[in-house]
Amino acid sequence: MASHHHRLHFSQLLFISSFLFFGLYVCFLASPVAAQCKNPPVIFNFGDSNSDTGGLFAGLGFPVDLPNGRTFFGRSTGRLSDGRLLIDFLCQSLNASLLSPYLDSLSGSKFNNGANFAVVGSSTLPKYVPFSLNIQVMQFLHFKARTLELVTAVVCTIVSPAGRVMVCRPVPCSGNFIDDEGFRNALYMTDIGQNDLADSFSKNLTYIEVIKRIPSVISEIKNAVKTLYDHGGRKFWIHNTGPLGCLPQKLSLIQLLQKKDLDTYGCISSYNAAARLFNEALLHLCQKMRSELKDATIVHVDIFSIKYDLIANSTKYGFSNPLMACCGFSGPPYNYNIQVTCGHRGCPVCAEGSKSISWDGIHYTEAANAIIASKVLSMAYSTPRTPFDFFCRS
């Protein structure tokens, strides 16, 4: 009997120690190495809903209601998540303010730490449809030109007694604006391409037809980086696209079709294969641009591997039902109904978002984004391995 109690006690200790280890592991993930910034960090971000901090809401007035924002902000901020996005955690790792949407005139921001041009639903193509990547870059060019006008004013002084000679000279304006050096040292982030793939599949294109479109998407990303480089940008941080085939939304739309296309973890193999091909092309582009763009630092980050690992090893990270939305309608297996989406009346939400990877069937919960951020900050998924704060260190 005594030995039985000792065995029970040991198993309890083992469980407790495992629990504590996991807790310490999560704490470690949430507490990356302190940033080494010597200069104020300035970031300009281009992308879609994965990094939109309120651009759709500000630009089109499109409602993004609670429970979006419930975990961290306590209100909706236009982010499609229960709390912070990956880009929010990256900004906080630098002790920098969260990026305000470029289109939000009421945010109170002076945009002295950069601006976010990302908008929900954005893609690279068509090229001239709001808010494509090309349009976002055009908005940035306007922002830069106007900001530099405000940085320096022209003051004219009459210098002759007759008042006929006037000398004009530039003088710095009072105000905290980004100057030319600030734009040159800023980080230019890009996270786009998911919607190009998703839209292609939604049009019932074949797998071959979808992948034939990838070079055109890559070309648009190249054009964007080249334009930013030609206007002084030298430091680029480029995220590849995540596992499209693991999104509950996509899974719910094809669940009535043949299930032989599902992989070991229940994701759509063809969708993820297309995402991988896109990512290979993007990595190759980054490698090529490093040799073509003198003095540029171009970091490619493998977001796909990070997110797929969350799905494949969900229990290790404390998540359950990795392919099921927290905020959604219809119940298992995916809890997604395109007619009743998150934020709309009658759409229920789970009690604990911290146990879910997917927030609304497309976007990730704050808990998942926190782990994704820690992986990004670890440099293990970056090519070349570069600390996120490299752009503000000197």
65 labelled catalytic: no
239 labelled catalytic: no
| Catalytic annotation, pick one of 48, 49, 200, 314 | 49
Nearest 5°: the CA angle 191, 275, 304 is 60
* 8 Å CB contact between 392 and 40: yes
SS3 assignment for 221-281: HHHHHHHHHHCCCCEEEEECCCCHHHCHHHHHHHCCCCHHHECCCCCEHHHHHHHHHHHHH
| Catalytic annotation, pick one of 88, 196, 263, 360 | 360
SS3 assignment for 4-59: HHHHHHHHHHHHHHHHHHHHHHHHHHHCCCCCCCCCCCCEEEEECCCCCCCHHHHH
- Rounded to whole angstroms, the Cα distance separating 322 from 357 reads 6
| Catalytic annotation, pick one of 132, 363, 374, 389 | 363
Name residue 199's amino acid. Answer: D
* 8 Å CB contact between 324 and 248: yes
* 8 Å CB contact between 327 and 309: no
363 labelled catalytic: yes
- Rounded to whole angstroms, the Cα distance separating 197 from 309 reads 21
Burial of residue 378 (CB within 10 Å: 0-12, 13-18, 19+) is middle
Catalytically active residues are 49, 360, 363
